[in-house]
Copies of this chain bind each other. A is one copy, B any other.
């Protein structure tokens, strides 16, 4: 189901200053990050369709992020 590696997310939490991290914390942040990425990717897909392209580009992601900040 999830695409992101739990190890990577745990490293992100530790870099943020946590001494110890529960497995539950890692799973929770993984789900939130993945939901955020999926949301932006779907909006970016609409942007690439709108531009008449089959290739989703960085400009589409940036435009999607811009719309929701």
Known: A4-B4, A5-B5, A32-B61. A55 touches B12 (CB 8 A): no
Quick check: B3 and A17 within 8 Å, CB to CB?
Answer: no
Stoichiometry (number of copies) = 2
Summarize A's interface: helix, strand, loop or mixed: helix
In the complex, which residues of chain B have a beta carbon less than 8 angstroms from the beta carbon of A54? 19-20
1/0 per residue, CB under 8 A from B, across A1-43: the answer is 0011100110111011111111011011100111011101110
**Number of chain A residues whose Cβ lies closer than 8 Å to a Cβ of chain B:** 42
User: What 9 A-B pairs have minimum CB-CB distances, sorted nearest first?
Assistant: A16-B41, A24-B58, A18-B56, A28-B58, A20-B55, A3-B8, A28-B61, A13-B41, A16-B42
